[in-house]
Homo-oligomer: A and B are copies of this chain.
């Protein structure tokens, strides 16, 4: 079982309309709601691949109840810890005429110290059944700044490899605890290190404690710096679509590869193919199985010249 941890789980609300009249009153044609947050998306991809996965993290209030209801409807194992605060919504306003989307991100709850302590207990109870654990996304207010370091150390104590997909201070704070893998995107990599060159930046994250660094560079694919060498992996095709969730699909593939002990080039090819298949699907956490099957043998993986 792969455990995913989403500390700031969200209810993703999508509003569709023809065109948004700014400073006007707009009738929304269609509303959709689903559970969101990066860890939830990773579990959705794993579940669609037929891999056992459990969702944990923090969720509260009526927004938390709505997102948990959706997890159950999606057939995902829900082990989110209930908290007092109200979980955040993200509102995506999709303008169908323009084909473009405006996103509003609520700040989310303030976690109480007792709730954080209870979550650590929940994690300790779940880790013995996990082959790997994925820590994804932003930290809600009220949890310690080094939350991901604390959590990675818990995973180590249970001999469970930890994957961290976070940015900024949350990512930097995790590194000394020695996560098996971190997966920043290009912007997060530059922001976390102050270095413009992705290879140099990835090297500095490894030096700070990450076992492997896989950076997603959008249409330029992935670069990986690992204990066994460095690679660059690229899709043979550029697919149009929805890039939200592409990084989460890559994390799902990377974590499965880590657990299976797959050779890095195979693991990276799978991550690129699954990520491209996620771009080709309309919703975060979904992927196009035909694109996945077609691309997995076509991904170009070559050693990094360093």
Chain A contacts to B: CB under 8 angstroms: 13, 15, 17, 20-31, 62-63, 65-66, 69, 88-89, 91, 93, 98, 100-107
Contact of A102 with B22 in the complex, beta carbons under 8 Å: yes
Q: Within the complex, what minimum Cβ distance (angstroms) separates A285 from chain B?
A: 18
Query: Inside 8 A of A93's CB, which chain B residues have their CB?
Result: 104
Query: Inside 8 A of A98's CB, which chain B residues have their CB?
Result: 23
Contact of B28 with A104 in the complex, beta carbons under 8 Å: yes
Contact of B103 with A25 in the complex, beta carbons under 8 Å: yes
Q: When A62-B62, A65-B62 are in contact, do A107 and B23 touch as well, CB less than 8 Å? A: no
A23 to B27, CA, bound (A): 18
A62 to B86, CA, bound (A): 13
Q: Within the complex, what minimum Cβ distance (angstroms) separates A167 from chain B?
A: 13
Q: Within the complex, what minimum Cβ distance (angstroms) separates A17 from chain B?
A: 8
Q: Within the complex, what minimum Cβ distance (angstroms) separates A77 from chain B?
A: 21
Contact of A28 with B101 in the complex, beta carbons under 8 Å: no
* A23 nearest CB neighbor, chain B only: B100
Query: Inside 8 A of A102's CB, which chain B residues have their CB?
Result: 20-24, 26
Which 7 residue pairs across A and B have the least CB separation, nearest first? A25-B103, A23-B100, A62-B66, A62-B62, A28-B106, A31-B106, A27-B105
Most chain B CB within a 10 A radius of its CB, from A20, A62, A66, A100: A62
A176 to B89, CA, bound (A): 44
A23 to B69, CA, bound (A): 29
22 contacts between A and B (CB under 8 A): A13-B89, A15-B91, A20-B22, A20-B102, A22-B22, A22-B102, A23-B98, A24-B102, A25-B105, A26-B102, A26-B105, A27-B105, A28-B106, A29-B107, A31-B88, A31-B106, A31-B107, A62-B65, A62-B66, A62-B69, A91-B91, A91-B104
